[in-house]
Amino acid sequence: MLKDSVTEVFEEHRPVLFGVAYRMLGRVADAEDVVQDAWLRWAGADRTEVREARPYLVRITTRLAIDRLRQVQSRRESYVGPWLPEPLATDAAGTAPDTADRAVFTESVTLAMLVVMESLSPLERAVFVLREAFGYPYAEIATALDRSAEAVRQLAGRARRHVEEGTPRFEVDPARQRDLTERFLAAAAGDDLEGLLSLLAADARLVGDSGGKAKAPLRVIESADKVARFLCAVARNPDPAAEYTFLELNGGIAMLTRHNGVPDTVLQLGIQGGRVQTVYVVRNPEKLASLAAR
């Protein structure tokens, strides 16, 4: 196989490999590192024994992601404040195979889903990602993880039950999400407490992720009243250098704030029953760097 062919084959499958790695790790930089390591393995492999490139590459990427996840999980135990996944432009999330359900594929990259997947073991998370998001058969997953098909089925069942119990069923209709997001932001900017309360679910939550590197709540804010009052207080001190952009992140509409052209804040709403159930705010500059060109 010629060098150019080796590169072309890998690049053809890169979006899927990144999609697997990001769903496993929740960080763009970590996912890119895993994909780069997979490329090095592929470039140095004896490809005469590789019958199909894609399963081989997915297997390498999955195993590398499991190793990386075990490393980063220990670091997250000392993370300052709540931890959220790194926001990802949806068009960079990887391509769904024809066998995968498109709605499930998109749902598997939402902030809510990725937060719940944080509580899965690395093997459970790998099985869930490969099965639910990418539609791989159990036998193929078993080969990728060097486990029996029965063991993989058990892992998949546990992971699915855990995710179903922990993941809220947010509405993902783009038009409705954008409309509610715009009304929500207008109420916050206008210091309209009653307007915000009319849009928030009674048990609404605000989750802020700064990693201790920017101003954000170090604990989850619970209840509509506390969330609304916090947002109104923030809006009373507007940033004159701020620029606002709507874009699609993690399968849904989000607002990106830039300060002097540098990504500063991502705000995204989890909407349930026509009301805002969760407000996600990401301010850790390390998690916003990949959005600089958006």
Cα-based distances in Å from 165 to 77, 101, 103, 169, 207: 23, 20, 18, 10, 19
Band (102; pLDDT cuts 50, 70, 90): low
Residue 195: name the closest of 239, 229, 222, 166 by CA.
229
Q: Please answer whether residues 224 and 204 qualify as being in contact, where contact means their C-beta atoms are separated by less than 8 angstroms.
A: yes
Q: Kindly report, residue by residue over 214-263, the tens digit of the pLDDT.
A: 999 999 999 999 999 999 999 988 888 899 999 999 989 999 999 999 99
Q: Please answer whether residues 251 and 90 qualify as being in contact, where contact means their C-beta atoms are separated by less than 8 angstroms.
A: yes
How remote is the C-alpha of 156 from its chain's centroid?
20
Largest CA distance in the chain: 67
Q: Kindly report, residue by residue over 38-97, the tens digit of the pLDDT.
A: 999 999 888 777 888 999 999 999 999 999 999 988 778 889 999 999 999 885 444 555
Please count the residues of the chain. Answer: 294
The pTM score is 0.90
Domains of the chain from N-terminus onward: 3-166 (1.20.140), 174-291 (3.10.450.50)
Q: Kindly report, residue by residue over 251-273, the tens digit of the pLDDT.
A: 899 999 999 999 999 999 999 88
Band (202; pLDDT cuts 50, 70, 90): very high
pLDDT of residue 99: 47
Query: In b/e form, how buried is each residue of 127-145, taking b as 16+ CB within 10 angstroms?
Result: bbbbbbbbbbebebbbbbb
Q: Please answer whether residues 196 and 232 qualify as being in contact, where contact means their C-beta atoms are separated by less than 8 angstroms.
A: yes
